[in-house]
Amino acid sequence: MEDEQVYDRMRRKVLWSIVNGLYLVGSRYEDDCNVMTCSFVTQVATSPKLVGIGVETESKSAELIEKSKAYTLMFLRRDQREIVRKFVKPALCDLGKHEINGYPYEEASVAKAPILKDVLAYVECSVYKELRFDSHIFFIGEVVNVGSNATPAPDGTPAADSRVLEVLRMEDTNMHYGG
Ligand SMILES: Cc1cc2nc3c(=O)[nH]c(=O)nc-3n(C[C@H](O)[C@H](O)[C@H](O)COP(=O)(O)O)c2cc1C
């Protein structure tokens, strides 16, 4: 019994150590929309360009994505960790004002899913395949559009490492997910 608990703790620690970014996933079906915090995110193929997300089976997001077959993936800046906590339960969407939990958004070309205005970058995906598990559905989405709000430094010099964006990571917070 004790051995089992030790093993469980060790397994969780190893699985928590998988390096993850922290993203927001936007979804919409008809008059219902949502944004959720998501860390199970990875590129799956380059041709076609596929990006996968693991979404809890019972979540509102899973329901909306299954119906609309589309989602948006938003990349946050490293100083935006407070946003992550605002999207851990179904969000309040004001379609008229284009606000979700009070954050202004724009509509994606896919399913009119929300893209918060103040994000570093975003990817719009159309669902290509779904893998269903007990806890999560792994949606594999084809990238149909990408946008970036990343700006050069005020003095005009490019960012320190211009090959990639400085995105929010799990290690920037004291949170964990999965395991
Ligand atoms: C740090 C962190 C990472 C998370 N990562 C995921 C994830 O990868 N997949 C997921 O389904 N939920 C994840 N969640 C939980 C969801 O954000 C939360 O359950 C979700 O907003 C509920 O889904 P709904 O609003 O679509 O019902 C994470 C939560 C936190 C705090």
The CATH number of residue 133's host domain is 2.30.110.10
Decide if 11 is inside a domain.
no
Tally the residues of the chain: 179
Decide if 84 is inside a domain.
yes
- C-alpha of residue 87 to centroid of ligand 1, in Å: 8
Decide if 177 is inside a domain.
no
Cβ atoms within 10 A of the Cβ of 58, count? 9
Q: Is the CB of 61 under 6 A from ligand 1?
A: yes
The protein residue with its alpha carbon nearest to ligand 1, atom 7, reads: 38
Decide if 13 is inside a domain.
no
The protein residue with its alpha carbon nearest to ligand 1, atom 22, reads: 89
3-class secondary-structure state, position 90: coil
Decide if 5 is inside a domain.
no
Rounded CA Rg of the chain: 17
Decide if 8 is inside a domain.
no
Mean pLDDT of the chain: 95
> Domain range spanning residue 97?
20-172
Residue 154 pLDDT level (bands cut at 50, 70, 90): low
Would you say residue 14 has pLDDT above 90? yes
- C-alpha of residue 40 to centroid of ligand 1, in Å: 9
3-class secondary-structure state, position 143: strand
> Model's pTM, two decimal places?
0.95
Decide if 3 is inside a domain.
no
Cα separation, 20 vs 82, in Å, equals 17
Number of domains in the chain: 1
Q: Is the CB of 55 under 6 A from ligand 1?
A: yes
Q: What is the pLDDT of residues 87-135, one digit of tens each?
A: 999 999 999 999 999 999 999 999 999 999 999 999 999 999 999 999 9
